[in-house]
Amino acid sequence: NNIDALQPLETTISDMERFKDATTLDLHCPNCSSEFPFGGIVPSNHYLMCYNGLQCKNCEKIFSTIQLTSQLESSIRSHISLYYAGWLICDDITCGNVTRQISVFGKRCLNDGCTGVMRYRYTDKQLYNQLLYFDSLFDREKNKNQEIKPLYHEGDPDFPTEKLNDSSIRALSEQNRELFEVNRGVVQKYLSDCGRRYVDMGSIFEFMA
């Protein structure tokens, strides 16, 4: 359909734009139970990427690989499950009906007299972008080039006080090569089953043909 035909353009949009609705990867320290968002090799008041992995700033514990991958995988799966909860929303803003009911005419709004069109509130495109966002967090090149979506904006109460310099970001990206590859493998496991990705690739192919 028409929406799919627009897909090739997607590859040209920046990660910042593509990931604007993506939610953070929230981690829990298995040692001291503090909770914080993880955003790759970026400044944070709560964690530090050091040469041998992810370290909690609160208790100085270094996460084992599986302590990170299991949380990443749980996060991915709760996103997939939320997608499959199948919430729909009516596009007529004066109606805004939000429901998990589907009419036998899928796009018809079930509110009497409403001519709005129903669509999935959590779209497959959003889910696909969420997976790509998780993938970017463990992408060595993107970390090196500081292309990851920032966790905080200036003025946020939690805005990190310290900064990271370019050379240490580059060094840390290399030192955490294996850890990052294992995590990317977890995201790829789901991307490989993601129907949306094949639409993306399929239409790129058509575009070139």
Partner 1 sequence: DPQKYKFRTMRQNLIDASDVLDEQIEIFTKIIQEHYNLSPNQFSDPTIQSQSEIYTVGRIVPDSPTFEGRLNTESIALETSRILGIGRRVRLDLSNIKELSLFCGQIVGLRGKNANNENFLVDEILSLPYPDAPVSTEEEIKGFQENFNNETMKVIVTSGPYFSETNIDMTPLIDFVDKINNQVKPHVVIMFGPFIDLTNPLISSGSIPTFPNLKIQPKTLDELFTKVMTPILKTINSQIQVILIPCTRDALSQHASYPQDSFDRKQLQLPKNFKCFTNPSTFQLNETFFGCSNVDIFKDLKEVTKGGETSSRNRFDRISEHILQQRRYYPIFPGGTRNVKIDKEKKIFKHIAGADLEVPYLGLTEFVGNVTPDVMIFPSEMPRFARVIQNVIMINPGRFIKQKGGKGTFAQITITKPSLEDDKLTKMENDDESVYLHNVWKRARVDLVST
Q: Which residues here bind partner 1, judged by CB under 8 A?
A: 27-28, 30, 63-71, 73-74, 77-78, 80-86, 88, 97-108, 110-111, 118-120, 124, 127-128, 182, 185-186, 189-190, 192-196, 198-199
Out of Zn ion, partner 1, none, what residue 95 binds, judged by CB under 5 to 8 A for its kind, is Zn ion
Q: Tell me the pairing of strands 98-99 and 118-120.
A: unpaired
Comparison of 88 and 186: residue with beta carbon closer to Zn ion: 88
Instruction: Choose from partner 1, Zn ion, none: what does 92 bind? Cβ within 5-8 Å by kind.
Output: Zn ion
Distance CA 204, CA 117 (A): 28
CB hemisphere CA count around 12 (13 angstroms): 5
Residue 56, interface with Zn ion (CB under 5 A)?
Answer: yes
58 binds, among Zn ion, partner 1, none (CB under 5 to 8 A by kind): Zn ion
CB of 35 to Zn ion, least distance (A): 10
Write the CB contacts of 152 (distance below 8 Å, at least 6 apart in sequence). 158, 159, 160
Q: Which is nearer to partner 1, 20 or 77 (CB)?
A: 77
Q: Is 55 in the site for Zn ion (CB under 5 A)?
A: no
Tell me: does residue 48 bind Zn ion (CB under 5 A).
Answer: no
Report which DSSP code applies to 62.
Answer: B
Q: Which DSSP state fits 103?
A: -
Measured from the CB atom, is 97 or 126 closer to Zn ion? 97
What is the C-alpha to C-alpha distance for residues 72 and 66, in angstroms, rounded to an integer?
9
From the list 149, 178, 162, the residue with the least C-alpha distance to 39 is 149
